């Protein structure tokens, strides 16, 4: 009978141990679920930032091409494009535009526009950079996307 008394109380520490282990697993699962939700939300915001930047890039390209249609000797490619900022679906959009010529002269076109050969020798080169961002660096849902394109226009 003595051996039966020595086994009493053994199940209580075992039950406490199992409860602690199961509680730890539960906390780990909740933490993993929270991390997965945050990652998924960030992926969506990153895609939105990219597509907003892409939309702004299309706007900037349209403006640059319209500016280049004037066939003037001066470089007006970035007129009404450079330093454009606006908010699109909660994202801060910034458009930077830099227009240069392949010649060191200030005029992009050395030909006379009356000849019909616009910028045939010295084409305009325009670099457009669009930045789309939301929130501030260091915040949980901070996203930032930047895309850049180069347009070369010879007047034809």
Report pTM: 0.65
Task: Report the pLDDT averaged over residues 84-104.
Answer: 83
Question: What pLDDT band is residue 115 in, cutting at 50, 70 and 90?
Answer: low
H or E stretch covering 131: strand 124-134
Residue recorded with tokens 């319209």? 66
CA–CA gap between residue 48 and residue 51 (Å, rounded): 5
82 vs 51 pLDDT, higher one: 51
CA–CA gap between residue 93 and residue 1 (Å, rounded): 83
């Amino acid at each position: 009978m003595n051996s039966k008394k020595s086994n009493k109380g053994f199940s209580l520490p075992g039950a406490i141990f199992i409860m602690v282990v199961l509680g730890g697993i539960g906390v780990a699962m909740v933490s993993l679920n929270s991390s997965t939700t945050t990652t998924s939300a960030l992926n969506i915001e990153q895609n939105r930032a990219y597509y907003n930047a892409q939309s702004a890039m299309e706007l900037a390209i349209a403006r640059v091409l319209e500016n280049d249609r004037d066939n003037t000797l001066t470089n007006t490619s970035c007129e009404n494009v450079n330093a454009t900022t606006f908010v699109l679906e909660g994202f801060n959009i910034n458009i930077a535009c830099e227009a240069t010529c392949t010649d060191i002269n200030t005029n992009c076109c050395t030909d006379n526009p009356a000849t019909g050969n616009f910028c045939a020798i010295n084409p305009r080169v325009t670099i457009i950079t669009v930045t789309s961002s939301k929130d501030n660096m260091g915040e949980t849902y901070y996203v930032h996307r930047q895309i850049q394109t180069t347009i070369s226009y010879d007047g034809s």
